Structure 1
């Protein structure tokens, strides 16, 4: 009885391993085709495509960027280096399952260096909590801005060097992203969802007005 069972188990293992190899081969071919499509798009549009780039700013990404950058598209827009990239973050939703998210990040290079700054739009509950208890954030002195946005920074005293009246007006008017952060000479804008080729330029264009305002200062 033992031999037929052993043979059956052995055959099952061989078939299983063969299926794993086939799936890996097809997956690899699919990824190559997808990367070829991205590379061809970038060449036509004047962008540079890089698969799995090694970047210093990866540590700044939400979720810790544990899986690395999947791919990135870079160009110079109005004299400013800009990169639009997709990365993945795998999180445990409970004790047995995991969820993988694929956020999009746009990175613009600034002309001067800044301290660490994070600006986020407030939800209604956040506005009430901040009014009652504070929350480790820095008030700007503009009631409308402080009511609608939260600022966290390592250098509150330097806020006047980047939070200009023009930037406040653009932030309140919705002309720039509602949530963003910067450190050194890098400005970041994150969005959920997978990156589509026909949306890459829009991501870059959405960030450049904010970068221009930050470079302009007060």
Structure 2
């Protein structure tokens, strides 16, 4: 009986220790998140940018998961002669065993002077490349075989897309100087996995998309 009690007490001690470790980990995570947001807010204030949290934006429909409530920190200011927004975004996916995974992204949006019809340039995966080899190019193809092999253009108006994606922009993509992007209205957008942690990285994060904006026709 004493042995059973000792084993039970040991098990209870392990459970208590795990709970304490979990609480400590959660508290550290919360402190780190507060510090991150404070740093971003202070940078925004020092540079004349706006800072909001949990905003809403139409362009979330162009992000993975299309989560309208997925925005966290949203910062907007003037950079490279244009209005730029840098934001946290997340969405969740569920697996067959009922567990969920949260995916974090950094989103960059450049506001253009004129509205445009929807156009996207996306990197091709292996399945997309296979489909192209089997069925040929779609009407949105640019005619540059290397570009059309590596990228696919999605647009309701192929002629408009080809007018936007000129030789200089194609070359920039082939040299990996610009990211994948989508454009609708005045909002030019890109995103990549991660979370915004160091505000000093904002100019470097925005620079490739600003380059896309410079290469688009007026």
Q: Report if aligned partners of 2:54, 2:69 keep a CA contact under 8 Å in 1.
A: no
- For residues 141 and 206 of structure 1, what CA distance do their matches in structure 2 show? 24
2:46 aligns to what?
Answer: 44
Residues 1:64 and 1:36: Cα distance change in structure 2 (over 3 Å): same
SS in structure 2 at match of 1:208: helix
- For residues 175 and 200 of structure 1, what CA distance do their matches in structure 2 show? 17
How big is the shift at 1:143?
1.5
How big is the shift at 1:213?
0.8
1:180 aligns to what?
Answer: 181
Q: TM-score, normalised by structure 2?
A: 0.78
Q: Report if aligned partners of 2:79, 2:203 keep a CA contact under 8 Å in 1.
A: no
- Structure 1: tracts of 5 or more residues without a match: 1-18
Question: 1:11-160 maps to which residues of 2 (within 5 A)?
Answer: 30=31, 32-134=34-136, 138-160=140-162
Per-residue CA deviation, residues 108-147 of structure 1 (Å, 9 max, x unaligned), is: 0112222111211223453232121248662112222111
- For residues 146 and 138 of structure 2, what CA distance do their matches in structure 1 show? 19
1:4 aligns to what?
Answer: none
1:6 aligns to what?
Answer: none
- For residues 68 and 94 of structure 2, what CA distance do their matches in structure 1 show? 13
SS in structure 2 at match of 1:88: strand
- For residues 37 and 80 of structure 2, what CA distance do their matches in structure 1 show? 27
2:5 aligns to what?
Answer: none
Residues 1:67 and 1:136: Cα distance change in structure 2 (over 3 Å): farther
Q: Report if aligned partners of 1:66, 1:89 keep a CA contact under 8 Å in 2.
A: no
How big is the shift at 1:160?
3.4
- For residues 56 and 94 of structure 1, what CA distance do their matches in structure 2 show? 30
SS in structure 2 at match of 1:96: coil
Per-residue CA deviation, residues 4-63 of structure 1 (Å, 9 max, x unaligned), is: xxxxxxxxxxxxxxx9xx99xx69x74555433321122234432211122232222221
Deviates more, 1:123-132 or 1:93-102: 123-132
Deviates more, 1:116-125 or 1:202-211: 116-125
- For residues 59 and 51 of structure 2, what CA distance do their matches in structure 1 show? 17
Superposition RMSD in Å:
2.7
- For residues 73 and 139 of structure 2, what CA distance do their matches in structure 1 show? 34
2:211 aligns to what?
Answer: 209
How big is the shift at 1:86?
0.7
Structure 1 residue 161 and structure 2 residue 163: aligned? yes
- For residues 165 and 36 of structure 1, what CA distance do their matches in structure 2 show? 43
Structure 1 residue 190 and structure 2 residue 180: aligned? no
- For residues 173 and 63 of structure 1, what CA distance do their matches in structure 2 show? 29
- For residues 98 and 134 of structure 1, what CA distance do their matches in structure 2 show? 38
